[in-house]
Structure 1
Amino acid sequence: MLFPLKSPRKTLFAKMMLTLTITVTLLILALSSLLYRNFFTASLDNINRMNTSILSQTSYSTKYMDSLVSKFINTVIMSPYTSVLLNNTDNDMVTLGSAFRNLDSLSLPHDYVYSVYTINLALNRIVSTETGNFYTKEDFYDQDIISLLQTVNKDSFAEMPIARKIPNPQASTASELANVYTYIVPDGLETNSSSRIATVINIKASVLRDMIASLNAKMSGPRNEIIVIDSQGTIVNHTSESMFLHSAKQEPYIQTLLAADQESGSFKTNLNGQDYQVTYVSSDKPNWKFISLTSYATFIGTVDTIKTSTFWICLTILGLGLFFSFIMSRSLYIPVGRLVETVKEHLTSTHNKDHPTNDIFFLQNVFNDMITKNNEWENKQREQLAPLKNKWLQDMLLGIRYVDQEALRVSQKELGIHLNLNGPLRLLLLRLDNYRDFLDSYNEKDRWLLKFGIANIVNEFVSEEYKLENIYLENDHLLLLLEISPLENVETTEGALKRLIELAQKAVNQYLKLSFSATLSIPVNSYLQLYESYSDTLALSSYRIVAGHNSFLTPTFRSSIKETVISFPESKAKLLLDSLKLGHLDKAEEAYSDFINQLSGTTYENLLSSIMQLSFMLKTTFNIILESDEFRKSELFQIVSRNIEQFETIEEIHETYSSLFSEIIRVMEQNKHNKHNSIISRIIKMIEEQYRDNNLNLRIISDEFQMSNVYLGKLFKDATGKSVSEYITDVRMNHVKQLLDNSNLSTKQILSQCGLEETNYFYIIFKKRYGVTLSQYKIEKTKRE
């Protein structure tokens, strides 16, 4: 009778919970839409950064190739043999042939050189290292170069190298063409075009194409491409050889690139009904543009998956929310309903004379019950307070949350933050050392417990002198927010904290068998400067790579860093590469040490940039070794191929590079040994096939292999234990014995077939080899028959 509105109250609670559920769902949808847009933008920015980095490496490799070719051109031009081939008017084939062999030997060690021409149109003489023949301009197989030479002028040098297809005179069909980059070095342009003299260097286009293919493998997706075009929109390199010299000028995105003023950039285009992100980088020498085409399908799929997942999550939350709204409304109403029922029963009992009730005792019981329920509710809230406080402080630190003074006061009270966030503050950033090993050794739960343990140990020491709050961050980061006195001296604070951190580091190492490095920020005046201070402190913590593990970095340390950029120690890098090529490990390590010492005191960014450039030079120079299947399977490749930023200390980088140097030299020595074995096998085969030629000797064999006869002779003797002439004699004598045993030929006929002459020297060798004279051998043979 007194409380007829019980059902409406339940309905009210249900409506409240339903409203809360719908509000939360709408907020999730709104935030998800914002995160979707941000994730899409971030994915696109990441693709652009990655592609720009890859294209920059390609551009650098092209410049590096151009630099190598320039040095080779200088070597060729300065060679006296080139001058003989260009200017000798006697047409003495002995002189010209000797000059050609020496010119060919100059180009032989350079794998990237396809061929070298020497052209004198006035003498009508062309020499090509590709075939080793002399030509007139009428019968020369590469007629295109003659036309180019006659039309070349001073403006043409800006377009070098020239991408061309040249006939392959050794191919089985005339349609087989080779893709090359051509450098024309004329001997003066003042002469008549029909009488010009020039040296022409053809470089294999496959060198750059292989490099692009290697870099293109880093891009995810089969529809992604890296192409290179010249200033006219012609493709001068592509992962597919068939696209070489294909004109792409008619493509709208190529027209946009050619009209662009910036050296690099990116934009969206549509190709064959598919959306692509175009990223490009320009180079001045040669005047080429390096282009990356990335299909939106390679990264938009992940974004769409997140969008679909978010939609279904929101529907699930809404459905569960509706269900739990009903359950929770009933749960929330139960205490109130009980209280109402209790009061109703009490009021009814007061009118029942048989059951009198003490009103004060009744109210005491009711309120005790309410206090108990309230305490249970507060305990549940207290359990959730720590993560809420950590999230609130994280948002303040990362610049995600902005609060005014009133909101700050309320939040501090609700979350139990006892620091004065409007006073002087300092950040103490802790970073776990050997984080990759930490991830491999512990599961997620253990990692969290260990980070919690580190925070407690550091808190125990630092809280003796400072008020602080712990902020748990992602990855290897942990942060302490310290309140400092406005009158405290900066140097005194740094000294005191260094002492406390060293004690904490020892304790962490002793009890947890872990170590961490610490970085101290500059003082800030209020919470509004926390985001900027955190970014600055995070950048300073990167100098752990120099200071090493278990270090303590302060703003004073930053003042010792040279802000001026130190130029890349190119001479030391080249000395390192040369030492590795020669197989001198000690000299390579010494050059690397000098390389690092020259960068001493520079900025973190400058140091890493220089090491990355050195790494790229190593990959470019020793590409065949580093890209081999055997090396790719090794643990060393996994270390070298990851980003250099993942190394924590310079010592880790030193150890990795030292192992890399040793492996490169080992593989080079192995390849050299294999190459020598191949040469020895070919020499033996040649002797077996040509032993009948009585003129066969070391000089003829060395000319055939285009090697020094002294070097070839030493190489053969080291491998077989015999000189070339001794081996030739052994082969001939073995065949002499076979013919003596199995034929009725005369001695003269046998010697003629075996490349020998009937001289006293032969009879001496025969007796020395078989222990009897030739006559005695024939008599014994007759007896055996």
Structure 2
Amino acid sequence: MPVNIKTSGDNRNLYVKLLLSTILCTVLTLLVSSTIYFVNYRNINLNQVYQTDLENLTQTSREVISMTESAQSLTFQMYRNGNITKLMFYENPDIYDTTAAMRELNNYLNSMPYIASIYVYNPKAPYVYVSSNTGQNGLMKKDELVDQDILTILDHFQEFKPFVPIPRTYLKNASATQKSNVYTYLCYDAIGNDNALNSAIIVNITTDWINKDIGKQRGDEASSSFILDDKGNMLAGDNLNPSITLAPESAITQQIMSTKLAGYFIGTVGGTKSLISYTAPDSLEWRYIRFTPYEIITRKLNAIRTTTIYIGISILAVGLFISWLLSRKLYIPINRIVNKMKSLESDKRNSLFTLKQDVLRKLLQGHEPVTTKMMRDKRSELGISFDFQDDYRLILLRIDRFQPFWQNHQDDLHVYKYAIMNISSEIASQAFQVETVDMGDDRTVLLINDRNAPSDGDQSMLQTLLKQIQKAVNDLLKISLSITYSPQSSQPQNLVPLYRQVVEASEHRVFLGSGCLIASQEHPYTETDDYLFTVEKEKKLVDALMAGKVGEAKKLYAVIMEETHPYPIRVFQATLSRLTITLSGVLYTIFKNNSLDLPPILPISRQTLAQFETIEEIEAVFFEAFDEMKRRLDDKRSMKQDDLIRRINEMIELNCGDPNLCLNWIADELDMSPIYISRVYKQNTLKAVVDVINTMRMERAKGLLKQSDLSIADIAERIGYTNSSYFYRMFKKNFGVTPTDYRKTDVIESENQALT
């Protein structure tokens, strides 16, 4: 039968041990060496790019210095030119001198194409002499000069160093919108005590001649280069990336300005990781910087790295395939042998576990004799770690609320029990030798022993460990455990009595509640002969129920059950059985005698109570039955009283004219006690029966006085009074007038209404 190699865990281990390790080492070596090569070559590449940038930027700096020197030389020539000096120092030179001087300025302008314009300024003259290829040209009054910015510079000439380029922008003429970007070289004469400006020559060089070489040497259009002055302000750039700007307070500017040396570093400019190269300050205190995207510099290196990774993955994939083929050829026979051995080992392990559980279970239940030889043989045969010759304890774990738990998880109960055994064994093995036994139902037993186990006088460590078991099972399985532990013993023959003792003691969970921790030695076997069932209290309980005193009945029930607490659990069980039979009979009788339907909670049986584990749960069943009984009796009593009130009112209305109508007559007719009728009627209507009879008779008398011509004596007789004098007194007492006066008043009112 062919073996499926692809799903075999043994074959996967063979791949790793024999062939895959070699392939992984090869791939790892390739990747590590490539990484080292990549890092080193990247650093070399960055340094090479920096050296190239530094050389280009330095060359640009030299060209700017050279142009500055040219502007300085040109200015000195103009100061030595006789015609031009007349413009600088004469307030009103004649027309011939002015024409000659302007011709000289135009010659200088035309001989140097990078010069945008030349200004000659005489503060005493009304004109500024301008020589320019574009825009304003000639003699311009100061207020007509479009380039007013130059006048502001001249007003504050002390703030500018001579022959240090001043970057600025000005309009070419008043009608034009196009601006000219220039670097202005200022040469002025301010000799004198007042340090006032005597004359000035301004040479404006277009920025295109200075910026044309910035960033162009490498031919890399993605690079951007700029000039920073001594204050960190950006003066010029190649405008390849206009979104890139540097403020003096930016981190990049601060890092560049923090040193006087040239250098480079990696930073983020305009959201792009870049190589930032910069020069040392030149004679103008300018620095030239260049930003080159890091991705462009390392593009080829990244391609090499990606290729290396692909090669490594390819080698790994091919190696895995070859390993699979070779393993399939070489190890199918070995795989069959290993699978067979594992199958036999698994069968043996499962069989040993079942046998060990069965043996330990029989030992605890007393179905197998406990002898030293038998213990030694079983331990050796089944691999039992528990030593019955050492001090040992029995710990009984019981699942709380087992009946509902079993109903919800009966198919998985053995899995949960196995999990409880594993968790308990794992925690207890930290301090003890442990064996776990599934005793069926809700019970699991831990057998623990240790030569260094704490004595019975010091159980704090044991209790702490048992609480850890409770918490772990509750956290992991959401199962509450009640735990009972036995005292120490070193005698194997005490195993069965100890088990019975912890089982007996565990039943006290009914008083202690779920999740309790019980020491069985605190609940020893006691004689039950001294327990006497309180028949008198049982009789009072029955009487209280029959009288409808539910609160008193609840207290008596709780007292009777609490009295069983100091005794063995069988006393509680016997008492519960007796009270269950008694109370079920009493409740049944009460419901039947009052013609009430039995509620679903009746009858209460031992089978019903068996699913409850605590005394509070059992009490709740009885107390619910008590409350249901009282509620139904109150409802029925209320209905009976309502019916009685209705019948009394009907009798009063029908027999109002009968002189014999009174409370005793009504009681005789209803065959009830007059006192009971009077009390019930007063409680429900807040009126006395006699008052209601008199009120109805008076109302009928008023009607007869208004609507008939009967005499007062006849009216008294009709409404049940045999004595007309008594009628007179009662009428005046109720209405404040005599019947005769009442009739007269009514007649007068009727006549007045008729006249109206």
TM class by smaller structure: 0.3 to 0.5
TM-score, with structure 1 as normaliser: 0.45
| Largest Rg, 1 or 2 | 2
TM-score, with structure 2 as normaliser: 0.46
